[in-house]
Amino acid sequence: MRETVRSLRIYFILSGLVSLWFGFQSLVSDFQAGISPVMILVIATGVASAGLALGFLYVGLFLEKLLQHSSNWIVVLLYASIGLAVLSSTLSFLGGGGVTAIVVLAVTLLILWYLLRNVRRLAAEE
């Protein structure tokens, strides 16, 4: 299936909203867990995740203009998301997440790769 600007916009908006929802839920539970050096890292990762989710919403809202003028910004956002996904999954795995952390990482990386591939294709077509 070939993604269009419109369908890719929906992916970015939905990804941003889902990430914000889970990110805020995670941050609330992290703050309730208490403060320790590890929790500070986990909270910082959660804040970064919320920032990237807002970036996804921004890209979703202005995708057509960004593809024409700033497609590199979208690519950087996707690569930053990949890095954060690896970091947060590693923290989750080390914290006892086990196989679930690996499965979540695999699904996240597949989605981000799919978005990256389609952004590059649509930017080349613009």
- The tens digit of pLDDT for each residue in 59-85 reads 999 999 999 998 899 999 999 999 999
pLDDT of residue 58: 95
pLDDT of residue 1: 66
Measured CA angle at 120 (ends 44, 16), to 5 deg: 35
Measured CA angle at 98 (ends 13, 50), to 5 deg: 25
Q: Residue 120 corresponds to which tokens in the numbers above?
A: 């590059």
Angle, helices 71-92 vs 99-125, to 10°: value is 180
- Are the CB atoms for 46 and 26 separated by under 8 Å? yes
What is the domain partition of the chain in residue ranges?
A: 5-125
For 35-61, write each residue's pLDDT tens digit: 777 778 878 888 899 999 999 999 999
